[in-house]
Amino acid sequence: MHSVDIPQAHDLPERVRAKLSVCSFFRQRSDDSVSVYVMSMMDPMSDKVRRLVVPCFIKTLLSTLKYAYCGEMKKLSQALNDRYAELKHVGPPNPDHNCITCMKPMRVWRFGKLATSPTTCKLCFGYVCNSCKIEKKLSFMNADLKMTQRKVSFCSACVSDSMGVSPSEIPKASDCWPHAAGLSRLCNQSGMWSTVLDNESSAVSHDFANTR
């Protein structure tokens, strides 16, 4: 990716366009790993904005390292969608009051009229203790089409099973949301679990765009 000057992209008032060049190489080392090599150069074209633009540019490049994590969260999201669709027909199971991983008995702590319920895996609905539970931050789209993030608990077995799913088996966003009207309809039919990268990446991209 290289900066190119074209006559149609004229200078803008109070805007300075930086010059950048980015070259990436991808090498598949095994069936489940890919090496990424990136070389980039940037000239902010202004000493005044150098301290602002260069760190934002670096953070934007490093945000690509989060795509693997985002892919894992997408697999968990798809597993949640499939699981909740199944519960509409069979109903939730009745798990034993033992941790599904270490088999430690689960206790219900009471503080007067208040009681704490043990944590359950949101895929198999088995109880998980604090030592065995795995919390992942997923994004949930409600009926108002607003994205909210929340922590979801899983057991190690369900996480391992979800990570073993082939990426080709996960439907693309275009397959699930063909148009805006269908999106509103789907929100009323399912939980609409999804994943997004950290807000930091979006904010960095927005700040970087404003400095061009």
pLDDT at position 198 is 41
pLDDT band at 194 (very low <50, low <70, confident <90, very high): very low
pLDDT digits (tens, 9 = 90+) for 21-50: 888 888 898 887 888 888 888 787 777 777
Average pLDDT over the chain, rounded to an integer? 72
Alpha helices in the chain (DSSP H): 50-62, 67-90, 156-163, 173-176, 180-189, 199-210
- Of 15, 86, 72, 69, nearest to 44 by C-alpha is 15
**CB proximity list for 120: less than 8 A, separation 6 or greater:** 95, 126, 127, 128, 153
Average pLDDT over residues 180-196: 40
How far is residue 140's CA from residue 134's CA, in Å, rounded to a whole number?
18
Q: What percentage of the chain has pLDDT greater than the value 90?
A: 0
| Contacts of 186 by beta carbon, 8 Å cutoff, 6+ apart | 176, 177, 192
For the cut 50, the answer to whether the pLDDT of residue 205 exceeds it is no
pLDDT in tens, 48-70: 777 777 787 777 777 767 777 77
- Whether 207 shows a pLDDT value over 60: the answer reads no
pLDDT at 73 over 70: yes
> pLDDT tens for residues 126-163?
888 888 889 988 877 777 777 788 888 998 888 888 88
CA dihedral 12, 18, 21, 26 (to 10 degrees): -90
- d(Cα 92, Cα 83) in Å, to the nearest integer? 10
| pLDDT given for residue 190 in this prediction | 39
